[in-house]
């Protein structure tokens, strides 16, 4: 290709089909190289919503975010956890490098309050990351959150159940997580700049110490729970 044409193609206004979208906002590296490659800007989008669809709790949905959350802490950014389903456990978060000093947990009583809280946290510009567990989404609420994330330049993360995969969504990035024998499979359902068909396998052990300790030890024992174990 000749040099002048190459130069023209470098223009930021020109988008080529095989490129990822250029985002205006800087992205937040996920801490997983294989995932960063596939995400526009090379990481989690700031100033936009990320939806994480989880089939079952406890498969690594938080561990996937931990490196980025720790980085947010490093940059002295606040993070808000809105309506978490369980107790965010301080010792584990501190061990992962999240500064608890800049962590805010809000436990609203009603769904409407939870949506309001998430929107306020995103919009305030005070929180770099907002993690929210919200029920009964509709388009109007989602749009408000998206606008809030844009104006507050925050990374908004919504956790939803995998059954929502078929629904239309305003989120800039949608991931579905699936536990497999080889690790966590991340299906990118939607991203800015083209479709990805193949899931990416993420090795969570590289970040979290629980697994790093003994990666390939066979199970100690298999117990039949609860009655058999209790009686023996």
Kindly state whether residue 85 participates in binding other proteins, applying the rule CB under 8 A: yes
Say which DSSP state 49 is in: E
**H-run or E-run covering 120:** helix 111-123
Contact 176, 187 (CB under 8 A): yes
72 binds other proteins (CB under 8 A): no
* Contact status: 120 vs other proteins (CB under 8 A): yes
223 binds other proteins (CB under 8 A): yes
Regarding 180 and contact with other proteins (CB under 8 A), the answer is yes
| The residue to which tokens 């009655």 are assigned | 227
CB nearer to other proteins: give 44 or 159. 159
Q: Which of 36, 70, 111, 116 binds other proteins (CB under 8 A)?
A: 116
From the list 19-27, 31-39, 134-142, 203-211, the region that binds other proteins by CB under 8 A is 203-211
Residues in contact with other proteins, shown as a per-residue x/- string from 89 to 108 under the rule CB under 8 A: xxxxxxxx---xxxxxxxxx
111 binds other proteins (CB under 8 A): no
Asked if 112 and 121 touch (Cβ cutoff 8 Å), the reply is no
| Contact between 132 and 118 (Cβ < 8 Å) | yes
User: Is residue 137 within 8 Å of residue 152, measured between CB atoms?
Assistant: no
Under rule CB under 8 A, residue 182 binds other proteins: no
Long-range contacts of 135-141 (CB under 8 A, 24+ apart): 135/111, 136/111, 137/164, 139/168, 139/170, 141/115
User: Could you tell me which stretch among 15-23, 87-95, 138-146, 190-198 binds other proteins (CB under 8 A)?
Assistant: 87-95
**What is the C-alpha to C-alpha distance for residues 85 and 104, in angstroms, rounded to an integer?**
15
225 binds other proteins (CB under 8 A): yes
Residues that bind other proteins (CB under 8 A): 55-63, 66, 78, 84-96, 100-109, 113, 116-117, 120-121, 124-127, 152, 178-180, 208-210, 213-214, 217, 219-227, 229-231
């Amino acid at each position: 290709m000749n040099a002048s044409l190459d130069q023209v193609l470098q223009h930021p206004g020109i988008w080529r089909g095989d490129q990822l979208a250029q985002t205006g906002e800087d992205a937040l590296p996920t801490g997983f190289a294989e995932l960063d490659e596939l995400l526009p800007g090379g990481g989690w989008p700031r100033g936009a919503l990320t939806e994480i669809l989880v089939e079952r709790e406890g498969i690594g949905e938080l561990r996937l975010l931990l490196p980025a959350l720790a980085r947010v802490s490093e940059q002295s950014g606040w993070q808000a956890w809105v309506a978490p389903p369980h107790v965010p456990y301080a010792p584990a978060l501190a061990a992962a490098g999240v500064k608890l000093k800049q962590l805010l947990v809000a436990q609203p009583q009603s769904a409407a309050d939870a949506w309001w809280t998430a929107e306020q946290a995103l919009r305030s510009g005070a929180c770099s990351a907002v993690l929210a567990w919200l029920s009964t989404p509709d388009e109007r609420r989602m749009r408000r959150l998206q606008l809030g994330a844009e104006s507050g330049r925050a990374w908004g993360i919504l956790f939803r159940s995998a059954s929502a995969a078929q629904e239309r969504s305003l989120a800039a990035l949608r991931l579905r997580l699936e536990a497999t024998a080889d690790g966590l499979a991340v299906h990118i359902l939607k991203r800015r700049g083209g479709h990805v068909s193949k899931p990416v396998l993420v090795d969570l052990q590289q970040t979290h110490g629980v697994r790093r300790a003994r990666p390939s030890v066979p199970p100690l024992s298999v117990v039949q729970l609860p009655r058999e174990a209790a009686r023996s």
